Structure formats: C-alpha cells, structure tokens
Chain A
Amino acid sequence: MIKFEKVSKIFPGDFIALEDIDLFIGKGEFVSIVGQSGSGKTTLLKLIYAEEQPEKGRIYFNKRPLDGIKKKHLPFFRRNIGTVFQDFKLLPQKTVFENVAYALEVEGESNNEIGEKVPKILDIVGLSDKMEKHPNQLSGGEQQRASLARALIHRPLVLIADEPTGNLDPISTWELVQLLLKVNELGTTVLLATHNKDIVDKLGKRVIALDKGRVIHDHKKGKYVI
C-alpha cells in the first residue's frame, strides 16, 4: 500500500531528516513509529500525505508514485488519508459538527448526506452530545476524538496519527487507542507516531524505530525500543 524506495529528505542547511529509507506498509496494518524527538517520525508521515517531498528516492501510494501527482490533484489524493495530530488542529471558529462536516463540504457532498454521516461518526467517537460545542468548550480527549471523527469521515484508506496522545490524560489516551484499534479492525491502515512506551508495548503490533533519520528496528510484533 505504502512503499518507500531509498527515500531521503534533506531540509535547507543540509539537515538530513530522513536518509535512505526503504519501507513497505501493507493494507490493514497497524504500525507504531517510534523514535526520539527529531528522529524523523513526523517527516516520514508528512511525506506520506505529500506535505513534504523527498529530495531522493520515491514514495508509492497504492502503487502510484506520489511525485507523479499534480499539485492541483493533491487535495483529492489527501482525501484518501485521515490525519490526527497532537494539537488536534480543529478550526476554532467552527462547532464540532461543522469541523467534521467541513471535510465533506470540500468534496461537494450534499447537505443531506452531511446531515446523515456526521452524527453517525460523532456517535462512534462518543461525541453525540457535544456536536454544537466549539473546540474551546471541550476537554483535550474530546477534541482529539472530534479530530479523529473528522479524519475518519472520508472513510480513508490510511489513518495517520502523529503523537495523538501527547496532550491527553491516561484515560483519554486509552480511549483513543481503543478507537484506533477499532478503526484498524474495520480495514483502515493505521500509522501511529508516538513516544508512549506503554501503548506500543501493549499493542503488540508492528513497530518501526527511527534514529537520526534511519530505520534502526522494524519488527512485526515489536516493543518500544530506541
């Protein structure tokens, strides 16, 4: 599904964020990406949703090279990927419902469809009673679940979660992890970048460890190792 072929990402000032990465992530996998801050986790994820482009090598999504996608087609490509971040990235002036609906509005979905789909997904993440609240009226865990609902509303092929539990308390953290597992069970590939050793160890899923821009471990049923 996602393939990295000798990929290097070098930022201005010759800072090598990723070097010579060869990687394959299959459909329906749940992959934890671990590593110290600055090891290249976020850059690796950004390359997948084409927010950054590699200086060397090639990345394939569903056998299609990402460098072949025209700029104007990038929004359509990104609709295959849901993203969740540590800082939630919710639009502050919109309600929870509007935030989730926005992802459908940009596709041109009808108001009826939006009216059906959004409450359903908010029910799945447990936010049915918070639809009309603004992000600043929600707890960190609730904001992250709203963000997850928005990421999932497209039924994406891949869900990218970059430190999603960084700002959450332990209970909210586990609630979110349970949701990610549920999403994965339904067939979505999940990529989780995290510093949380507990989560990674308990998941017992594939773990890719990065250090200074290189893959140092890649185990099918791994533990948190850096």
Chain B
Amino acid sequence: MKLLKLWRTFKEGLRNFYRNGLLTIATVSVLAMSLYVVGFISTRGVMTNLLLQETEKKINISVYFNPEVSENKILEVKDTLDGYQEIKSIEYVSRNRALEEFLAGNQDSVIRQALDEIGGNPLLASLVITANDTGQYDIINEAIEKAEFRDQISRINYQKNKEIIGKLGDTLRAERKEGFVAGIIFIVIAILITFNAIRLTMYSHKQEFEIMRLVGASNMYVRMPFVFEGIFYGIAAAAVSMILLLITAKYSSLSVLFITGDVWGFYVKYWWAILGILLLFGILLGIVGGFVAIRRHLKA
C-alpha cells in the first residue's frame, strides 16, 4: 500500500509539474539561473585551483655549476641534497643535455650559427630541484647559499624567478580566496531566491492543502507530490543550466573570465561530474524548498 501511495504521489507531482505551465517555467528559470551561477563559480574555482597546482609544479630551483666542476662532483652534491627533507626531487642536467634541449627548443638558424661561432658548448650543467612545498624554496635556497660547495656554483636561478613565481602564486591565491567568498555570497543569494520562488509556487497551492487534509490525506501524502514536484524542478533546472554553461564555455566572451583558455575542453572532460553536481544541488534545493515551504500550510 505504501508503494502504491508513493507511486500516486509521484504521478501527482509529475502532473503538477506539467499542469502548472507558466508557474513551472518561472520556477525552473529561477532555479536554473541559480544553478548556472553556482556552476559558473564552481568551475571557475576548480580551474583556478588546477592552474595554481600546475604553476606550482613548474616552480623549481636550477643550480648551475661552474664549467670546470666534474660530473662526479655534481652528483656528489646531488647526493648531499637528496638528504634534505624539504626536497622532493633533484634532476641532473648535464651540459650536453642542456645543449640538446636548447637546440630542440630553438630551431632558429641565427642562434645555431652563433653557437657554431662560439665553438663548443657554452651551457652549464645544472641540478633542477623541486621542493615538497612552494613555501620551502627559500629554505632550500638559503641552505645552498651557505653550503660548502657554494664556490663551485656559477649561479642559482631562484632569485631571478622568485619574483615572477611569487606574483603569479599570490594572484592565483587571491583569486582563489576571492572566488570562494564571492561564490559563497552568490550561492546564498541563489538559494534564497530559489526558496522564495518555490515558496510562491507552494502558496498558489495553499487552498489545495486544506482540501486534501479535509478529505483525510495525511500530511505526508499532501507533502510528497510537492517534494516530487521540487525534484522535477531540480532536474529541469539542472538540464537548462548545464546547456547554458556549455553555451557560455563554447561561444560567450564570458569565458575570458575563466583565466585560462580551454574551458570547453574542461567541460567536455568533466561534463558528467558538473551535471551530477548541478542535479544534486538542484534536487536538494527543490526538495528542501518544497518541504519547508509547505510545512507552514500543514497544521494538523
């Protein structure tokens, strides 16, 4: 019997959904706009995070050794540095490999000609050091500066990159923080607007609640169709907002707000996760909104 009642309330909710016409369109539109804002801010946040992680991965210290320092000596230094707990990895780049990489990256014939004229390999061997955490580069840099092998080092490129890396990191971190705060504010506003829209929809059913109770319907039986109606609003709104997000990513100039270029690629890769979150959020808003909105009309 319970299943039969559940099925009936489901059908009732579906019927309300398509019979309400304009009211359904209005509620779905508001909910879809809320989800769109939430989706936009969330994906922007996720992409900023990814970008920050990518940038952090690219940060390293290159220690260049004087030309006369032998490979064995450099590898000895490498072994010493391997003992530092702040260091995640050290890669040895020999003079030959440095030259190969340089040539691979510079096909320009003028540069090749210049190298020929110089004769030999002007590049230095180096150790490329990656830290466990970006905040630890200062410590590593300081340790190398004070190390006994300091006089064998030609230069450390950390100082040079430090400022650029620091600025980029600061910008992204600030972006992440601001995005988070703005996101929370927008999400709260979206929830309030959606709640209000659902409340108005439920208010239009106010007299029906009274009638239903008078013919002996339990509060749960009265409530369930509206909970299902909320679920349908959520599903429809999630679909609409997903389409809007895809359109934004593909065509709109708004995508420049996403900092990084390949928003479309991001959506194509994670569309199922984004849709899942939108559905979850939409359904949750629909259910909770419906539940709370009709509670006040259901005095026993």
Q: How far is the CB of B269 from chain A (nearest CB, A)?
A: 44
Question: Is B8 in the interface zone, CB < 8 Å from A?
Answer: yes
Cβ of B4 and Cβ of A102 under 8 Å apart? Answer: no
**Cβ-neighbour of B215 out of A72, A74, A92, A150 (below 8 A):** A150
Distance, CA A117 to CA B219, complexed state (A): 25
Question: Is B115 in the interface zone, CB < 8 Å from A?
Answer: no
**Cβ-neighbour of B1 out of A71, A72, A83, A108 (below 8 A):** A108
Distance, CA A71 to CA B5, complexed state (A): 20
For B217, the closest partner residue in chain A by CB is: A106
Q: How far is the CB of B243 from chain A (nearest CB, A)?
A: 29
Question: Is B214 in the interface zone, CB < 8 Å from A?
Answer: yes
Q: How far is the CB of B26 from chain A (nearest CB, A)?
A: 17
Q: In the complex, which residues of chain B have a beta carbon less than 8 angstroms from the beta carbon of A150?
A: 215
Mark each residue of chain B from 1 to 26: 1 if its CB lies under 8 Å from any CB of chain A, else 0: 11011001000000110010000000
Band of interface residues on B:
20 to 34
Question: Is A105 in the interface zone, CB < 8 Å from B?
Answer: yes
Mark each residue of chain A from 80 to 122: 1 if its CB lies under 8 Å from any CB of chain B, else 0: 0001000001111100000000110111101000000000000
Cβ of A78 and Cβ of B214 under 8 Å apart? Answer: yes
Cβ of A89 and Cβ of B214 under 8 Å apart? Answer: yes
Distance, CA A75 to CA B217, complexed state (A): 6
Q: How far is the CB of B294 from chain A (nearest CB, A)?
A: 15
Question: Is B218 in the interface zone, CB < 8 Å from A?
Answer: yes
Question: Is A154 in the interface zone, CB < 8 Å from B?
Answer: yes
Question: Is A76 in the interface zone, CB < 8 Å from B?
Answer: yes
Question: Is A79 in the interface zone, CB < 8 Å from B?
Answer: yes
Question: Is B211 in the interface zone, CB < 8 Å from A?
Answer: yes
Give the residues from 197 to 229 in chain B that come closer than 8 angstroms, CB to CB, to chain A.
Answer: 207-208, 210-219, 221
Q: In the complex, which residues of chain B have a beta carbon less than 8 angstroms from the beta carbon of A79?
A: 216
Cβ of A83 and Cβ of B5 under 8 Å apart? Answer: no
Number of interface residues of A (CB under 8 A): 24
For B2, the closest partner residue in chain A by CB is: A108
Cβ of A49 and Cβ of B211 under 8 Å apart? Answer: no
Q: In the complex, which residues of chain A have a beta carbon less than 8 angstroms from the beta carbon of B19?
A: 93
**Cβ-neighbour of A108 out of B4, B15, B219 (below 8 A):** B4
Q: Contacts A89-B210, A91-B208, A106-B212 given: A75-B218 contact, CB under 8 Å?
A: yes
B16, B215, B300 interface centre (most CB from chain A within 10 Å): B215
A83, A90, A93, A110 interface centre (most CB from chain B within 10 Å): A93
Distance, CA A36 to CA B4, complexed state (A): 46
Cβ of B216 and Cβ of A106 under 8 Å apart? Answer: yes
Cβ of B300 and Cβ of A71 under 8 Å apart? Answer: yes
Cβ of B211 and Cβ of A90 under 8 Å apart? Answer: yes
Q: How far is the CB of A15 from chain B (nearest CB, A)?
A: 19
Q: Contacts A71-B300, A72-B218 given: A105-B211 contact, CB under 8 Å?
A: no
Cβ of B4 and Cβ of A74 under 8 Å apart? Answer: no
Q: In the complex, which residues of chain A have a beta carbon less than 8 angstroms from the beta carbon of B1?
A: 108
Distance, CA A90 to CA B212, complexed state (A): 9
Q: Contacts A108-B5, A110-B4 given: A102-B214 contact, CB under 8 Å?
A: no
Distance, CA A49 to CA B210, complexed state (A): 13
Q: How far is the CB of B110 from chain A (nearest CB, A)?
A: 80
Q: How far is the CB of B300 from chain A (nearest CB, A)?
A: 4
Q: Contacts A105-B8, A106-B218, A106-B221 given: A91-B211 contact, CB under 8 Å?
A: yes
Cβ of A102 and Cβ of B215 under 8 Å apart? Answer: yes
Cβ of B300 and Cβ of A83 under 8 Å apart? Answer: no
Distance, CA A178 to CA B15, complexed state (A): 36
Cβ of B300 and Cβ of A78 under 8 Å apart? Answer: no
Distance, CA A74 to CA B212, complexed state (A): 13
Cβ of A83 and Cβ of B8 under 8 Å apart? Answer: no
Give the residues from 128 to 167 in chain A that come closer than 8 angstroms, CB to CB, to chain B.
Answer: 150, 154
A-B pairs with lowest CB-CB distance, top 7:
A71-B300, A108-B1, A79-B216, A106-B217, A75-B218, A103-B215, A78-B216
30 contacts between A and B (CB under 8 A): A49-B214, A51-B214, A71-B300, A74-B300, A75-B213, A75-B216, A75-B219, A75-B221, A76-B216, A78-B215, A78-B216, A79-B216, A89-B211, A90-B211, A91-B211, A91-B212, A92-B208, A93-B19, A102-B215, A102-B217, A103-B215, A105-B5, A106-B215, A106-B217, A106-B221, A107-B216, A108-B1, A108-B2, A108-B5, A150-B215
A residues with a Cβ closer than 8 A to B are 49, 51, 71-72, 74-76, 78-79, 83, 89-93, 102-103, 105-108, 110, 150, 154
B residues with a Cβ closer than 8 A to A are 1-2, 4-5, 8, 15-16, 19, 207-208, 210-219, 221, 300
